[in-house]
Structure 1
Amino acid sequence: MSSLAFTVPGPADTTAAAYELGVGRAVPTTAAVLGFVAVVAGGLALTRSRRGARSWVGIALTLGQVSVIVGALHGANSAGGPGTGNGMVGAVLAVALGVAGTALAVSAVVRSHRAVRFGDRPTP
């Protein structure tokens, strides 16, 4: 006859430590979320650029730049590469999303200025 042994993991279980969301992952994850919000705001500003979307442009520019700066600083100071748990992938994603959000906001500003220059006045 074989016996079954059930073990209960104690407080020193090391497998749960690999999935904690510490400062090394929380900061670039937050920056990536801000970058995603910048992309959404930049897209809304671009689709509404002829009707005046200054608030969306301001949100996209601000959050995009914050995302790029925080992601770049975290990526430069990270101790390891991707997959080490130091947030390198989140930092790279934050930079990419921040640049995309900023580019969309700048495109919206250029489009709105072009519309004003050619006589298409945006309605307030």
Structure 2
Amino acid sequence: MSVRRMLATAAAALLGGFALATPAAAHALAQPSAPFVYGWTPDRVWATSAALLAGVGVVIGGLARARSAGRIGNGTGKGGAIVALVAGLIAVVNGGLVVVTADGGPGTGNGIVGGYLALVLGLVAIVLGGLARASSRPTADRSNPGVQA
């Protein structure tokens, strides 16, 4: 999958998430403000775990990108790139679901801040994993066009 195609897919997913979140945000604005909730709620746990997964995906994607560029280690970074792509995709989906299902804004216990963080970090993980995957592919030898490296 080309980098342009992955970026277009990530942009479409983000745009779709915002399009689905708009009615929920309008509904939340029409409701009276809820009191601030302190402590862990199930939605906060869900959003925080998605954000942590996205952060792990960013770290693994960065390491895979460095490995595929030959900066560290001697591998291709192909496995790390796939892990970063999968972790980023899972985080984006879960972050989007948290944002869409949130009944209020920050401080209401709905995990909306963690949901948005998971969306952003998940997209970064997808981009890093895609870049590492693209640069880990073998390229053709320019001196002998019939032979691949």
TM-score range, shorter chain: 0.7 to 0.9
Contact 2:37 2:108 in 1 (8 A): no
Q: Distance in 1 between matches of 2:51 and 2:101?
A: 17
Supply the AA of the counterpart residue of 1:117: T
What is the CA deviation profile of residues 13-61 of structure 1, one whole-angstrom value per residue up to 9, with x for unaligned ones?
xxxx932211020000000000000000100110011531122112101
Match for residue 42 of structure 2 among 11, 23, 35: 23
Change beyond 3 A, Cα 1:43–1:97: same
TM-score, structure 1 normalization: 0.76
Question: Any runs of at least 4 consecutive aligned residues in structure 1 with deviations exceeding 6 A, and if so which?
Answer: none
Match for residue 95 of structure 1 among 112, 119, 129: 119
Moved more, 55-64 or 94-103: 55-64
> How many residue pairs were aligned?
103
Structure with max Cα Rg = 1
What is the CA deviation profile of residues 48-76 of structure 1, one whole-angstrom value per residue up to 9, with x for unaligned ones?
11531122112101110000000001110
TM-score, structure 2 normalization: 0.64
Pairwise CA distance, 1:84: 2.0
Gaps of 5+ in 2: 1-35, 70-74, 142-147
The sequence identity of aligned pairs, in percent, is 37
Equivalent in the alignment of 1:9: none
Match for residue 46 of structure 1 among 54, 57, 65: 65
Equivalent in the alignment of 2:135: 111
Equivalent in the alignment of 1:78: 102
Q: Distance in 1 between matches of 2:37 and 2:133?
A: 44
Q: Distance in 2 between matches of 1:19 and 1:48?
A: 42
Supply the AA of the counterpart residue of 2:58: V
Pairwise CA distance, 1:100: 0.2
Supply the AA of the counterpart residue of 1:61: L
